[in-house]
Structure 1
Amino acid sequence: MYRAILPEGQIECDRYDRTETGVELYNDDEQFIAFVPYDNLHALVDEAFYGEDDRSVM
Structure 2
Amino acid sequence: MSTADDLKKLRLKAQIGITTVLGLVSIYILLTQPDNSSLQKWAIGTLGIIVGYWLK
Q: Which TM bucket (shorter chain)?
A: under 0.3
TM-score normalised to the size of structure 2?
0.25
Q: Specify which structure has the higher proportion of helix.
A: 2
Higher relative contact order (CA 8 A, sep 6+): 1
Normalising by structure 1, report the TM-score. 0.24
Structure of higher CA gyration radius: 2
Greater fraction strand: 1
